Amino acid sequence: MSGKRPIKFKILELFLDGKEYWNYEIVQKIQEEYGMRSDFQRDSINFDIIELASGGMLRDVEQKVDDNGIYKKGFLLHKYKITDFGIQRGSDACLRYV
Amino acid sequence: MDLKALKKQESKRKISKGYMWAFFCALFWGIWYLPGTVVWVLNPFDKMNSAIAETSGDGIALVVTAVLITAFNALTVMLALMVWNGVLGKYKELGRTLREFHTCSKWFFLASICGGPMAILGSFIAMGFIGGSFAAVAGLLYPVIGSILAYYWYGERISKRAAIGIAVIVLGGVSIYGGGLLNELSSGNVPWIGYLGGLMAAIGWGTEGAIAGKGLDISEPDAGLTLRFLGENIIWWIIIVPILALVGFPMYSFAVQAFEPLTLLILIFAGITFGFCYVTWYKSFPLIGVGRGQGIGNLYGFCAVIFIFLFFGDVPDWTIILGGLLCIAGSFIMFTEDTSALETLRGD
């Protein structure tokens, strides 16, 4: 596990390509990379995304109902895009090693 | 269920959870003043205070005792947060966050300087010199410092509404400080160090918030807050307590005596309430917005006054109650300004 960045750094890094991603896409990627398999850890990663959005670094651009249980059946899925502030904070935090 | 109904349900759940966290923050923060006041009359702190007073005078004795109490408070908060992180399975994230010193964790260590030796020490000094209600209500002035700092540091504009809120809080401050001061000036016995402690609490918490925010927005608060208290423990146990011991104060001999069941119990009680008031404070922000989170969190001043009345039977002066009411009203005026956050949470 050495060399891994904090989870919020990693989330911002994934969004830094400027594309829009669904929350479950990001959550699944982090779960795999960090070996966080439990439902509790899944929800905790999702809460990190919510915190980044409330901090003005991500913007909630689209919602849809999770009919097929991709993430949590019957709940809402959110699609996010990085904001200018997010790009600035993300670049400060993540691009040092690039 | 259709998209619209689901959005409504989700935002309802978010808002009620957010208010619950913020309310718990106010409760924990308010309760903290109980162990904080009680610990002063327990051994070894009681003995330490009178022992140092004999050689160095009352003022220095109270400040040095407050240092040891604050150091133990930091230690038990750290313990409570380590248990919390263990339960959440966040030790790995803690390590990852700690290693990002340059971009992230240095802000927590800087924040701990303002939080520990300023705000928390100041609060304990105010509790020791004047009393728990005064200490709690004096701390309510912190949003004024925070917004002035944000104005100079981030160039954040202070709106008309925020300015009105600040003015109301300052009026509250005048009432909190002025009421007691008038009585004491006439009797000729003014506990200046206690008032200074109250100011330290407000200035310390205001600056801590502005600095810690720089690291917290890109880290998990559970990990970030633990590092902030790691910093405070380093300041007390590795820097200040050894320096005071070198200067000749009996820090270690009294510190060892704190491992006594009742004293430990009260200190752990302080650690749990203080640790969780920080955790719940940060949990509320993403759900209801920083403004509402802080506005409701500030009800701690009121909770503290009520708890102190219930447990100790102390009725604070009416000037302190009036000042506390003004501070809470002012913080609601200041913080509930931006309604857009709640509207986006509501969806449409």
Alpha-carbon distance of A16 to B3, in angstroms, equals: 29
Angstrom distance (rounded) from CA B24 to CA B31: 10
Q: What is the pLDDT of residues A13-59, one digit of tens each?
A: 999 999 999 999 999 999 999 999 899 999 999 999 998 998 889 99
pLDDT tens for B92-116 read: 999 999 988 888 888 889 989 988 8
Backbone φ, ψ for residue B99 (5° rounding): -70, -20
Residues B280-302 pLDDT 10s: 988 887 787 767 777 788 888 88
Least confident stretch, B49-63, B121-135, B164-178:
B164-178
> Residue A45's domain is classified under what CATH number?
1.10.10.10
- Residue A96's pLDDT is 53
Closest approach of B155 to chain A, Cα-based (Å): 15
Please compute the mean of the pLDDT values over residues B35-61 and round it to a whole number.
Answer: 91
Using CA atoms, how far apart are residues B146 and B206, in angstroms rounded to an integer? Answer: 4
ipTM: 0.87
Pairwise CB contact (< 8 Å): B10 & A7:
no
Indicate the number of domains in chain B: 1
Is B10 at the interface with chain A, CB within 8 A?
A: yes
| A66 in any annotated domain | yes
Across the interface, which of B1, B10, B218 has its CB nearest the CB of A8?
A: B218
**Could you tell me if residue A17 is inside a domain?**
yes
Q: Which of B174-178, B182-186, B252-256, B309-313 has the lowest mean pLDDT?
A: B182-186
Q: Can you give the pLDDT at residue B338?
A: 54
Residue A39 located in a structural domain: yes
* pLDDT computed for residue B172 by the predictor: 85
3-state per-residue secondary structure call for B243-291:
HHHHHCCCHHHHHHHCCCHHHHHHHHHHHHHHHHHHHHHHHHHHHHCHH
Q: Measured between alpha carbons, how far is B310 from B13 in angstroms, rounded to an integer?
A: 33
Is B36 inside a domain boundary? Answer: no
Task: Supply the range of the domain harboring residue B74.
Answer: 41-346
Q: Is residue B31 part of a domain?
A: no
**Cα B15 to Cα B37: distance, rounded to the nearest angstrom:** 34
Q: Is residue A2 part of a domain?
A: no
Domain that holds residue A27: 7-97
Residue B25 lies in a domain: no
User: Given a cut of 80, is residue B4 above it in pLDDT?
Assistant: yes
Determine which helix (DSSP H) or strand (DSSP E) holds A59, and give its type and residue range.
strand A58-65
Q: Which of A53, A54, A74 sits opposite B1 (nearest CB)?
A: A74
- Would you call B103 an interface residue with chain A, using a CB distance cutoff of 8 Å? yes
Q: Is B217 a member of any domain?
A: yes
- The residue in chain B having the minimum alpha-carbon distance to the alpha carbon of residue A5 is B96
